[in-house]
Each structure stands twice: as C-alpha cells, then as structure tokens.
Amino acid sequence: MPTSDHSVSTQSQDRLPLRTAMEAKDLAAVKDAFAPDARLRSPLTNRLVFTGRDQIAAVTAVIFEAFEDFRYTDELHSGDTVVLLAQARVGGEDLETAEHLRLGPDGKITEATVFFRPLPGTTAALRLIGAGLGRRKSPALGLVMSVMTRPLAFVTRSSDGLGVRLVRSAL
C-alpha cells in the first residue's frame, strides 16, 4: 500500500498542542504553542498581523470570550504544515474556521493564517473580536469598534437569505 506524508489526527495523543490548548481554553498553553516571534495573520484583513506570543495571546483571550461551542473537526498534517478546521457560533451566527500553520523545528508554530466563513459569521466575529480588543485599551474604544462594525454585520446577516434566493433564481 502506498504511503503519504499527509495524515489526519484523530487521537488526542496525535493532536497539535494548540488544538488541545484551544479546546481546553488554556491561554498559557496556547501562548506556549507559538514560537516567541510567531506571526498570526488576521482572517479579516491583510493589513493586520499579530506578532509575538503576547499579541497572539491577547487575540486568543478575546476569541475565548466571543466564540461559543468552539470545536475542531479536522486536523491535517504534512511535513511542517498543519491545517486545523473548526466550527463555532459567534454572535448567534455559525462560523467555520481554517487555520494554516507552519511549524518550526521545535514543533512551535512560527506562522498562522486564519480563514473564516460564511460572511454573516465572519462579520459577527469582526464586530466581537474588534470590540473585545478595543475594550482591552478602554471601554470607549471597544464601543467605537463595535459601533463601526455593527452596520456591516447587520447588512450581511439580513442580505444573506435574499442573496441566496437571487442566485438560485438565476440558475
């Protein structure tokens, strides 16, 4: 039987330490899963990269507050690359995530790129994560960030059904 360097982890002892830490909501273990100079690319804009364990931990703490029913569904390994797929609820919306991770020789994450879908869940995540990060600085900044993103979340949530109906009617 041919072998492949691709594998899917299903047993807890094969799981990436980040997965175990996220599932346990263990912020210290999440921080430890990353290399000291790791980079986390925002799922919401190319213009935002979180650098270092402290910034990544700050974002993760907000995610722990904002995401409900967070659970990983798949974990794929290929060499120094891992992909984690997850589902959650955010602000009452369904959210699916994909995390593309690069590991250093010591197994620590050196680079992470996160992707979100569908759009209503993504905009809910944008609002709650932005507001949560803003509140770390001041309640007023958190409120401003929430207010700025609320219209986008409303539009995507309310137009999601209409958009689907329009596309289906065009087929």
pLDDT, one tens digit for every residue, the chain (171 residues): 443 444 444 444 578 999 999 999 999 999 999 999 999 999 878 888 999 999 999 999 999 999 999 999 999 999 999 999 999 999 999 999 999 999 999 999 999 999 999 999 999 999 898 888 888 888 888 888 888 878 877 777 777 777 778 788 888
CA distance 45 to 38: 18
The answer, as to whether pTM is greater than 0.85, is no
pLDDT score, position 163: 76
Domain boundaries defined on the chain: 7-170
pLDDT score, position 148: 84
pLDDT score, position 5: 44
Backbone angles phi, psi at 107, to 5 degrees: 85, -5
Tell me which architecture the domain covering 7-170 has in CATH: Roll (3.10)
pLDDT score, position 133: 87
> Where do the DSSP E strands lie in the chain?
6-8, 34-41, 49-51, 67-78, 81-90, 93-103, 109-117
